[in-house]
Every structure is written in structure tokens, then in C-alpha cells.
Amino acid sequence: MLKALRAIARLFDRYIGWNRLGFLLSIAIIAVAVTVLYRMLHKIDVREVWAAIHATDARNVAIAAGFVAIGYFTLTFYDWFALRAIGRRDIPYRIAALAGFTSYSIGHNIGATVFTGGAVRYRIYSMYGLDAVDVAKICFIAGLTFWLGNVTVLGIGVTIHPSAAGAIDQLGHLANRIIGLGLLAILACYVAWVFTAPREIGRGGWTVRLPNGPSTLLQITLGIFDLMSCALAMYMLVPAAPHVDFVTLGVIFVTATLLGFASHAPGGLGVFDAAMLVALWEFNKEELVAGLLLFRVLYYLVPFAIAVVILGARELWLNLRGTRPKLDLHPVPSVIAPIRTELDNGDDTRKSKA
């Protein structure tokens, strides 16, 4: 069975290509989201939305801002954890916090977080001797933390409250509960796999040693704290009536976030909002749109502005000091390094004989 699946995967990659499939999937998600938004919002009263924003309790906005701050604080530990996973314990937390906060703040708003966030990380970490391969490993482990948290929250939430996911995927309770249990089973298998022995993926200098069992549990904890903080911020901004419990909103929020992530749109713009509007159909549209706009301001625009100011001040300070990052645009993987050293020694020997 495994050989057959691998053969199918090779044929698919050869004749269709995973990148092309991902691009088409993103276009399809965005197209559906635009259609949904138009149908739901083309008759919306902008004045009522503005009035709903003004009517939102300032205390709720402040609490939501606090949860957003906790979420971004948790994100800084993604990088701190990843640095230790690749063996760079010498880099202090303040640098990991700087790279983590700015890369996610900018990546969330520009889109294609892997590339935009990776570029920001490289700019910061290159001054501490990390090359492009090291930064790629950090991005991979940080992304793994994100996905482990998502699978955990979604698996538990859909298993406990399958009707919450049904609001988006339109599946029955039994089907969603099976999906939730399947996610938890996959998660359990992965945790058991990394608990039994050290695990590595990749080849040569691109090899990444996966965090062991206890570290993976820490990854999952970080991912849960991140997602729950963001979901709590959203929970404080949705209308008070009709009442929706936090588990339901949490499942809807995580599902909408993943759809936005899959679309590669900046901040999941349009896709996240369409999913929330469809799933929370019982709310007044103007009031719900007001909550979504406030969430975008708190979670996307404010951190983005702060990150730009921080990076701009840092670049100015580095220029005034005359400091430049240690650029290594073409890092040599460790598997090639011995061969290169041997060739260089051979050249030196030939020169000495001549």
C-alpha cells in the first residue's frame, strides 16, 4: 500500500505538480470567498457598521487587545524554541522575540508568510552567524509548532462540538466527529513516533532534527496558547447576542484561520471573513462585520505598524553604527563542506609542487 501511494505521488508530481495544485487551490478558495462576501454584504449598511463599532464596549476592546498581546508574546517563543531545536542556544530570547514578532507581524499582513517572514528573520539572524539554511530550519520548526497547535485545537474542538465545524463544512455530526478523532489519532501517532527515537528529515545540510517527545508536547502547548489567545480576542469582539459558547467560536475561528492561510491572501483577507460570516449566520451582519474589522485592526494593523517602526529604528541604528549583517546568500550545506575542503587542499598541493 505504501509503495502504491508513493508511486501515485511521484506520478502526480511529474505530470501535474504539487505547486500547481496549491496555486489552483488558493485561487479557488479566494474565488469562493469573494462570491460569498458579495452575496452577504452587497446590501449591508455601512453607517450601521460604523455605529456598531462606536457602540462596542471599550472594555471589551481593551480585553481583546490584551489577548492579542498575549498571542504575539506566545509567537516569540516559536522562534526561541526553534533556535534551541537547531542547537543555537547562544542567541538570547530578546533576539528571538524581535525576529518572531516582526516576522509574523509583517508576514501576516503581506502574505506568503514563509517567504516574507523568512526574509525578516534572515535580516535579523544573519548578524548572529545564521545562514539561509538555518533560517529555513527555524521557519520549518516554527511552522510545525503552528500546525501541531491547530491540529490539537481543531481535533479536540470538532470531536467535542462537531456542529461548530458543520457550520462551515456542511457535514453531519458523525462525519465531523470522525474527522476530529482522525486528527487526534494522527497527532497521537506523530507524538509517539518522536518519543520512541530521535527523528530527522531532509538530506545533507538541509537535515532537520525534529524535537523529541517532551519538546513536541511543549510545541503543542505553545500552539494552543497562541490560538486560544487569538480566539479569545475574537470572542470579546463578536456581538453579545445571540450567545455563542467559546468552544463553538474557537472551532469556527481556527477553521476560518486555516482557510485564510491556505488561500495565501494577506491576513486571509476576505477568506477568513467569509468563513466567519457563513458560520456565524445568526448574528446581525453589521455588528459581526464591526467585530471583524476591530479584530483586524488589533491583530493585523497595529502589530504591523509597531513592527515597521521597530525594524526601521533598528536599521537606522545599525547604519549609524556602521554595522552590517553577515550575509551568506549561498550557504554551503555541511555535506558538501568536506568535499570542498578536500578540493581546496588538492589545489594547494598542486600549487606547491609547481
**Residue 77 lies inside a defined structural domain of this protein:** yes
Per-residue pLDDT, 271: 80
Q: What is the mean pLDDT of the chain?
A: 80
DSSP string over 181-225: HHHHHHHHHHHHHHHHS--EESSGGG-EEPP-HHHHHHHHHHHHH
Q: What is the mean pLDDT of residues 158-164?
A: 86
Indicate the range of 54-68, 143-157, 253-267, 340-354 predicted with least confidence: 340-354
Helix or strand or coil: residue 235? helix
**Residue 149 lies inside a defined structural domain of this protein:** yes
**Residue 2 lies inside a defined structural domain of this protein:** no
Inter-residue contact 93 to 68 (CB < 8 Å): no
In whole angstroms, give the CA distance from residue 73 to residue 116.
20
Domain region containing 64: 59-329
pLDDT, tens only, 180-206: 999 999 999 999 999 988 888 877 667
Per-residue pLDDT, 64: 95
For the chain, percent of residues with pLDDT exceeding 90: 33
Indicate the range of 43-52, 246-255, 324-333 predicted with least confidence: 324-333
**Residue 340 lies inside a defined structural domain of this protein:** no
Inter-residue contact 264 to 111 (CB < 8 Å): yes
**Residue 348 lies inside a defined structural domain of this protein:** no
Whether 65 has a pLDDT exceeding 90, the answer reads yes
Q: What is the mean pLDDT of residues 223-251?
A: 90
Residue whose C-alpha is closest to residue 293's, from 229, 226, 237, 235: 237
Q: How many domains does the chain have?
A: 1
pLDDT, tens only, 301-322: 999 999 999 998 988 888 887 6
**Residue 24 lies inside a defined structural domain of this protein:** no
DSSP string over 144-181: HHHHHHHHHHHHHHHHH-HHHHHHHH---HHHHHHHHH
Predicted confidence band of residue 3 (pLDDT cuts 50, 70, 90): low
Q: Cell 501535474 appears where?
A: 16
**Residue 128 lies inside a defined structural domain of this protein:** yes
Inter-residue contact 117 to 107 (CB < 8 Å): yes
What one-character DSSP code corresponds to residue 242? S
Per-residue pLDDT, 187: 93
**Residue 350 lies inside a defined structural domain of this protein:** no
Residue type, 76: T
